[in-house]
Amino acid sequence: MSPEVSSGVEVGAVAAQVQRVRGAIAAAAERAGRDPATITLIAVTKTVPPKLIQQAYDAGVRHFGENRVQEAVSKIAALELPDARWEMIGTLQRNKARVAVDHFGRIHSVTSQALAEDLARQAAQRGIVLPVLIQVNVAGEATKQGVAPAEALPLAHIIAGLPHLRGSGLMTVAPNVADPAAVRPVFRHLRELRDTIRAALGDDWLDLSMGMTNDFPAAIAEGATLVRIGRALFGART
């Protein structure tokens, strides 16, 4: 293997993996009676070298997810990807809000009123409206970020009151279990929360960011609109 390959996928193979993943997304959508066009693939590029990110872009991927601000900033600088959209999917420290708003087009990981207000202030300074999702810790795992399910609606009300944020939905990371079917109730719960928030605050609250390499078909079956996929595209992270 060439030295650029840090991920277990041969250089040049990313395009083939993109096609396979798109096929699997379409198949899961069809099984669920959904239009595949309502599901956006977000390629998760943490630890992935710019060269392989470029290959995903060349294969048509336009949404890229990163979970560390600094890592994303250096990759965004190293790449020139017109019309690519960078999405923040990891824990965001309040002191990184400014840099995050400079580099990301959407934040999936809002977990507090204080962070929402910091992001809103940064967006206001730039005269933009920033789309955000609330991260929910549906299963209540101690190791996972996110608000408790009962806190999602109150936080959504706060976001709805911040004119420079547009609350667009909910995000979760499901427990990592051997049988992906076992996490379907977690995805279902997030969809029900989304439905509640949508009924209270309006149709902007549409997105369900859920589903990763191990469990995206189950997430799609429960209504995922944004799937965040890393290893199935780029191979195992080393």
Ligand X SMILES: *Cc1c(COP(=O)(O)O)cnc(C)c1O
Q: List interacting residues with ligand X (CB under 6 A).
A: 44, 46, 67, 89-90, 173, 212-214, 228-232
- Torsional sign, CA 76, 132, 45, 15: negative
Output the smallest distance, CB 190 to ligand X, in A: 14
Q: What does the block give as tokens for 140?
A: 């209540």
Comparing CB distances to ligand X, the nearer of 194 and 228 is 228
Comparing CB distances to ligand X, the nearer of 56 and 162 is 56
Output the smallest distance, CB 64 to ligand X, in A: 12
Comparing CB distances to ligand X, the nearer of 144 and 189 is 144
CA-CA distance, 18 to 233, in Å (whole number)?
Answer: 6
Residue with tokens 């967006």: 123
Q: What does the block give as tokens for 233?
A: 């595209």
Output the smallest distance, CB 65 to ligand X, in A: 6
Distance spanning both ends of the chain, measured CA to CA: 14
Which residue sits closest to ligand X, CB atoms considered?
230
Comparing CB distances to ligand X, the nearer of 57 and 64 is 64
Q: What does the block give as tokens for 120?
A: 């809103």
Comparing CB distances to ligand X, the nearer of 10 and 71 is 71
Query: Other CB atoms closer than 10 Å to residue 162's CB: what's the count?
Result: 20
Query: Other CB atoms closer than 10 Å to residue 40's CB: what's the count?
Result: 17
Paired residues of 166 in beta bridges:
131
Output the smallest distance, CB 193 to ligand X, in A: 18
Output the smallest distance, CB 133 to ligand X, in A: 11
